[in-house]
Structure 1
């Protein structure tokens, strides 16, 4: 049974940045640029939440159970659920009225859903098809992942679904015929995240081997070729997010050293040049999502940070640090709410504490300060980065597992 718990008494509207975080408060300074509030904490008792997706006013949460729960976006109330034979929904993606879910059996389910008066869903396909595996047993290794699917991305113009796995491979599925049209070893370690640029079909992957790779589909074919490898940090790269707006394109990568590196796409050549990194999280960055010029990051330090990129430049500012989870933040999803005066966001975060928290954020124009970008062409930066890295050790996987088990026993 899933219970709905309203926000705790301490979750009142908060100004950001808080005055007590400012070493030199100035009463004549501009008004705070952001207000945030925890609307609700959705407590789950059927497993840890592993994935979140938003589309068409519905929020989908996947867990290690055999139910995909559906919530109404604004009211934070449960609308229903989707029963599946194989649980452990480690990756989930919603596009329009189509939902993609990856399961424990290393397969992907494709669903159609509607959420008018009553939520309804219908399974459209299972990838790979059982008939394909029976007819071509030798192709079984190419058709199906050999380990857990960790991430999903969809390229709408061509109807291509990309899946990344712990088996180090990326597979490409054409939805029209439900076939695997390409499969390639993408990294030397597990693939942790994958995103696709809807404008040009460029595919980005990151891995525990510390690299981010850029792939393009060969013209007139289904195969993909590696065009660029971005390797700036030695630690594992856990999350990716793409921000395209106003003729600019930025790629963000969250890594286990607590930094968020970003690259800017160069006009003309299409190359991605390293622009710097965002520093603030104490431990590993596990998830990222973007809306326009706003970046949301979740971390093992149990916080969510809200960053904003200044229009026309690569300067970023950390507008808020959302605190409330009692375990590492594993996944994020966000949507925009427009108002006459302010820009609003609804942010959904899931943690190893088995809760999904819903945050309302109101952003006011003006009053911003350039504080967070660290350029990579200064010798002093390398020293500072090394010092910060040594002062802020990353949580070990063993510690995280013990923490998760402790929370489970509560």
Structure 2
């Protein structure tokens, strides 16, 4: 259902300027574009401008079909679908009962889960909120002016927010005149990650650098050239502080802070193929640790950590998406991946192995799935999740996913349960995914 809200319980304005509505896109219907034209445009290897909002495509994008039948051990449903006139949604963060979404506008929307009623918004001076991260009572956001804002969030019944600081501070060149490195990012800050134990915020940018910000004194304590191209994703291992970065140069790098210092050193480079890497996710369990990297060729590479040496070895890849993998999330033994092919896939690793099975394909968006966030939900019979997804079709969807154990696995005759209409729908999907006409037109013009 579509949802329009004209009232807000509370909000915080950093400035009074009203954000401009995004310019409407001209578009053709999907039937006016034949499949060969779409395939040709979506397989272009040339880099796209920031306006295109998408990483470059690889000509080797696989067209593997989705599973013909859903897994009997997983059920899912779309709880609601929201649409706001804030332009494309680039980022999602979850903090207890609140969900935050960042978009092309200067407003960060605040929703209450699970029903996702709007609680208000946070307004900043600069829009295009590319990345969001939340921890404790803090929310971190990146903006068009290449700066980071830190917000204090009230978790009481009535939503309140307050800006703590902006990084770097306007007068940072006066406070730290002898700084050995540039504190201001020179291009879009595409990703961020917070190391809880040390209070260090890491930011990755299209200017190819990573910066480390110490929250205790709000100071940039390190800045280093990490990649040869745009940095698209960054995650931190909360157990040992290792920093993982991925880039359009096709590599994933692992960094470790030098003992007793603020500087970072490169410990390992992971590069299995040349396709741009757009997203990372880290999964840790008592028996194993896995790193996942999503690429523009549609593959999700799996890297397994050796227990003795601590090195990450390539353990295979997950093959299912048709186009670029744009976002990843690992939670409690599951991996969720959002793709330019408009779908979200749910993968589960078999215990004691590196083999992953695709349990479900969440098919509902009509444009590339740009970001997602998942959180656990209490359930007595099954492992429950709330999955929040946002697409470049302008919609924000909330899914409820339940994963059953082998003892409580649902049994059903899938072949008998399929109606002719369902079989016809699957056959149509196997030919070509349903894409937003506006998105297809944007890709053609790119």
What TM-score does the superposition give when structure 1 sets the normalisation length?
0.83
Q: Which residue pairs with 1:100 in the alignment?
A: 140
- Deviation string 1:119-149 (CA, Å, 9 cap, x unpaired) is 0111111100112134556859611100000
Whether the aligned pair in 2 keeps the contact of 1:352 and 1:404 (CA below 8 Å) is no
- From 289, 294, 299, the equivalent of 2:329 is 289
- From 8, 21, 33, the equivalent of 2:68 is 21
Match of 2:85, SS state, is coil
Q: Which residue pairs with 2:18 in the alignment?
A: none
- From 215, 227, 242, the equivalent of 1:202 is 242
Matched, 1:66 2:106: yes
Root mean square deviation, CA, Å: 2.6
Match of 2:441, SS state, is helix
Q: Which residue pairs with 1:313 in the alignment?
A: 353
Measure how far apart 1:247 and its partner are: 3.8
Measure how far apart 1:93 and its partner are: 0.4
- Deviation string 1:227-274 (CA, Å, 9 cap, x unpaired) is 000000110000000001124210000000100001111112110011
Taking the aligned partners of 2:125 and 2:245, their CA distance within structure 1 comes to 29
Q: Which residue pairs with 1:163 in the alignment?
A: 203
Matched, 1:274 2:305: no
Taking the aligned partners of 1:123 and 1:53, their CA distance within structure 2 comes to 17
Matched, 1:3 2:42: no
Whether the aligned pair in 1 keeps the contact of 2:393 and 2:439 (CA below 8 Å) is no
Whether the aligned pair in 2 keeps the contact of 1:254 and 1:260 (CA below 8 Å) is yes
Q: Please give the residue correspondences for 1:167-206 in structure 2 after superposition, counting only pairs within 5 Å.
A: 167-206=207-246
Q: Which residue pairs with 1:12 in the alignment?
A: none
Taking the aligned partners of 1:119 and 1:360, their CA distance within structure 2 comes to 24
Matched, 1:81 2:82: no
Measure how far apart 1:99 and its partner are: 0.3
Q: Which residue pairs with 1:49 in the alignment?
A: 89
Match of 1:359, SS state, is strand
Taking the aligned partners of 1:196 and 1:400, their CA distance within structure 2 comes to 33
Count of paired positions: 359
Taking the aligned partners of 2:234 and 2:319, their CA distance within structure 1 comes to 23
Measure how far apart 1:174 and its partner are: 0.3
Q: Which residue pairs with 1:28 in the alignment?
A: none
Whether the aligned pair in 2 keeps the contact of 1:300 and 1:328 (CA below 8 Å) is yes
Taking the aligned partners of 1:141 and 1:267, their CA distance within structure 2 comes to 36
Taking the aligned partners of 2:198 and 2:171, their CA distance within structure 1 comes to 24
Match of 1:402, SS state, is helix
More strand by share: 1
Q: Which residue pairs with 1:402 in the alignment?
A: 441
Measure how far apart 1:115 and its partner are: 2.8
Whether the aligned pair in 2 keeps the contact of 1:296 and 1:307 (CA below 8 Å) is yes
Measure how far apart 1:344 and its partner are: 0.6
Taking the aligned partners of 2:179 and 2:218, their CA distance within structure 1 comes to 15
Measure how far apart 1:76 and its partner are: 1.2
- From 367, 373, 386, the equivalent of 1:346 is 386
Taking the aligned partners of 1:404 and 1:39, their CA distance within structure 2 comes to 30
Taking the aligned partners of 1:248 and 1:46, their CA distance within structure 2 comes to 41
Structure 2: runs of 5+ lacking an equivalent = 6-65, 410-430, 433-437
Match of 2:171, SS state, is helix
Structure 1: runs of 5+ lacking an equivalent = 5-18, 26-30, 369-391, 394-398
- From 307, 315, 335, the equivalent of 2:375 is 335
Taking the aligned partners of 1:148 and 1:134, their CA distance within structure 2 comes to 24
- Deviation string 1:162-220 (CA, Å, 9 cap, x unpaired) is 00000000000000010100000000000000000000001000000000000000000
Taking the aligned partners of 2:271 and 2:244, their CA distance within structure 1 comes to 13
Q: Which residue pairs with 2:188 in the alignment?
A: 148
Matched, 1:326 2:327: no
Taking the aligned partners of 1:221 and 1:243, their CA distance within structure 2 comes to 27
